[in-house]
Amino acid sequence: MRSDNESFLGDTPNYFILLGASDRPWLELPLFGVLLVSYVLAMLGNISITLVSKLDPQLQSPMYIFLSHLSFLDLCYTTTTVPQVLVNTGSSRKTISYADCTVQYAVFHWLGCTECVFLAAMALDHYVAICEPLWYAVIMHRTLCQQLVLVAWLSGFGNSLVQVILTVPLPFCGWQVLNNFFCEVPAMIKLLCADTTVNVVTLAVLVAFFVLVPLGLILLSYGFIACAVLRIPSSTGRHKAFGTCSSHLVVVSLFYLPAIYMYLQPPSSYSKEQGKFISLFYSIITPTLNPFIYTLRNMDVKGALRRLLRIALAIRGLWCFHMNF
């Protein structure tokens, strides 16, 4: 058995030590509170949108099909990291097993790449709805939506599988310390005791593909949308069209800007504390804000939530009445 302080060469570790989100111990309690509140809000918001998108008959258009999958994805996204971070934040022994770390970075990478494709699919849906309204039902039929959903999930899984295949067989060396609060592929590559050129290049190429190609399609779609909206003679019509797209644009900005800052520039250009903050933002804060952004700006979703709440209260009333008698 190795002691906790022993380093080793060319072996598979039993666990990794996570240094956490901050080097200042006095920040642990406030951070624990922020993470706990964020996780509860993310759970409530994303579960609510997933349920109303599936159960409400008025929310069965392609837009809400994509939204329900995005909410489910964000729910998984936060659950991949936050529970383990909460446990470690309140513990003196901040560790994660090798198996759990591998699953964590694989699932996190899968969901992140999948979300890139989903955001592009939602931009395509908005483009067709605004620029080709007469052909919308023909183009954005249910089969195409299901195919786009399948492509998003499978492409993200394929990318994650490549990273796992390239990372797992290589040996580790030195101290098994991750200067972060969860496991990510770039941090794992730094701990490998082998030539990681293939890993680094593959990660950079695939991340650039999943970030830049969908982002380019999103910007192109909104370029056409802006031109189409400006041609609408009615100010009410322009306001409604921009209102439909504004929530998606905010979500795209919150997701892509931190991802570009984190992955598409040299690691030496930002400090470790900055890297931790950016990781905290796109892994926890963004998935928490997404359901509230869509809810606050979307009358259909707010109406569906009110109907779901009334049904829940009615069921609770009937149950209480039944229990009393």
User: Is the pLDDT at 8 greater than 60, yes or no?
Assistant: no
228: Cβ contacts below 8 Å, ≥ 6 apart: 130, 131, 241
Instruction: Report helix, strand or coil for 277.
Output: helix
Lowest mean pLDDT among 114-118, 252-256, 318-322: 318-322
| CB proximity list for 224: less than 8 A, separation 6 or greater | 127, 131
**Is residue 287 pLDDT above 60, yes or no?**
yes
Asked if the model's pLDDT at residue 152 lies above 90, the reply is yes
**Quick one: average pLDDT of 1-6?**
41
- pLDDT confidence tier of residue 67, bands split at 50, 70 and 90: confident
Residue 97 scores a pLDDT above 50 = yes
Mean per-residue pLDDT, 271-299: 73
User: Which of the pair, 30 or 71, is modelled with greater confidence?
Assistant: 71
* pLDDT recorded at residue 6: 42
State residue 20's pLDDT score: 67
User: What average pLDDT does the segment 88-116 reach?
Assistant: 85
Residue 94 φ/ψ, nearest 5 degrees: -95, 85
Each residue of 117-147: pLDDT tens digit?
999 998 998 888 888 888 888 888 888 888 9
**CA atoms of 130 and 125, how far apart (whole Å):** 9
Least confident of 5-9, 95-99, 228-232, 256-260: 5-9
Structure tokens at 119: 């955001």
- pLDDT > 60? residue 58: yes
Token digits for 280? 């905290």
CB atoms within 10 A of CB 112: 25
**What average pLDDT does the structure give for the chain?**
79
Q: For a pLDDT cut of 90, what percent of the chain falls above it?
A: 13
Phi, psi of 295 (to 5 degrees): -70, -45
* pLDDT over 90 (residue 171): no
Q: Mean pLDDT across the stretch 279-300?
A: 76
- The closest alpha carbon to 288, from 102, 81, 95, belongs to 81
Confidence band of 190 (pLDDT split at 50, 70, 90) = confident
Mean pLDDT along residues 226-234: 79
176-189: per-residue pLDDT in tens? 777 777 888 887 88
Domains of the chain are 8-319 (1.20.1070.10)
188 and 287 Cβ atoms separated by less than 8 Å: no
pTM above 0.85, yes or no: no
Question: Quick one: average pLDDT of 156-165?
Answer: 92
Measured between alpha carbons, how far is 69 from 66 in angstroms, rounded to an integer? 5
Residue that wins the pLDDT comparison between 272 and 148? 148
If you search the block for the tokens 């790449």, which residue do you land on?
Answer: 113
> Which whole number is the average pLDDT over 68-95?
83
